[in-house]
């Protein structure tokens, strides 16, 4: 990795339950003066404001650094779109745990090869999952997705005066889900009050 060019780190996990500390530490050790982070799915480029900010404002000669390329995207198409955007801006991509550095010919070749293998592995996983579901359906043990969270039940419990923490623990949901239900409840109450005023 080119040590002299300015580096911007990008750390990502798919969920808030996962810890970003190891990625941030590795990116800082790699010389990143700034590390942007987010806890969003990598299945799509949509809904990832921190990555969008980097791609919008990265300068020529700068390098976007990740620990592994799967922190950026889960498909070859998205990875290629990111690299094309960086190239357009005169910037580069590098990874701390893989020999990926698009400022070098070897790094570019390795990046392309990794992307092909990542996509191949994803397709294999999908096929195995589909086969597993078919087999489970044949045996009559496939249950499908778990039931959706009952927001009405959460609102009912909020109405009894239980705290969000108590409700989350009792119903096996996150406190964020309870707060979302509370916000919806307050919003609908305001609408009703507005109509009766």
Rounded Cα distance between 41 and 62, Å, is: 25
Q: Which tokens belong to 59? A: 């300068």
Selecting among 4, 5, 14, 188, the annotated active-site residue is 14
Q: State whether residue 95 is helix, strand or coil.
A: strand
Q: Which tokens belong to 71? A: 């922190």
- 56 contacts: CB under 8 Å, gap ≥ 6: none
Say whether 103 is catalytic.
Answer: no
Q: For 17-22, which contacts have Cβ atoms below 8 Å and span 24 or more sequence positions?
A: 22/67
Please report, to the nearest 10 degrees, the dihedral formed by the alpha carbons of residues 4, 8, 14, 16 taken in order: 120
Active-site annotation, residues = 14
């Amino acid at each position: 990795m080119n040590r002299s060019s300015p580096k911007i780190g990008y750390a990502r996990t798919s969920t808030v339950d996962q810890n970003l500390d190891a990625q941030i530490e590795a990116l800082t050790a790699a010389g990143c003066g700034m590390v942007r982070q987010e806890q969003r799915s990598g299945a799509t480029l949509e809904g990832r404001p921190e990555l969008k900010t980097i791609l919008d404002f990265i300068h020529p000669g700068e390098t976007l650094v990740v620990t592994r390329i799967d922190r950026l995207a889960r498909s070859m198409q998205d990875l290629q779109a990111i690299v094309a955007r960086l190239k357009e801006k005169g910037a580069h991509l590098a990874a701390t745990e893989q020999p990926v550095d698009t400022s070098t010919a070897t790094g570019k070749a390795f990046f392309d090869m990794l992307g092909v293998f990542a996509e191949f592995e994803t397709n294999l996983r999908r096929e195995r999952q589909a086969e597993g579901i078919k087999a489970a359906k044949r045996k009559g043990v496939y249950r499908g997705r778990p039931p959706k969270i009952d927001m009405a039940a959460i609102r009912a419990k909020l109405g009894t005066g239980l705290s969000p923490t108590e409700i989350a623990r009792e119903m096996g949901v996150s406190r964020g889900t309870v707060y979302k239900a509370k916000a919806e409840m307050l919003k609908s109450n305001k609408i009703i009050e507005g109509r009766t005023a």
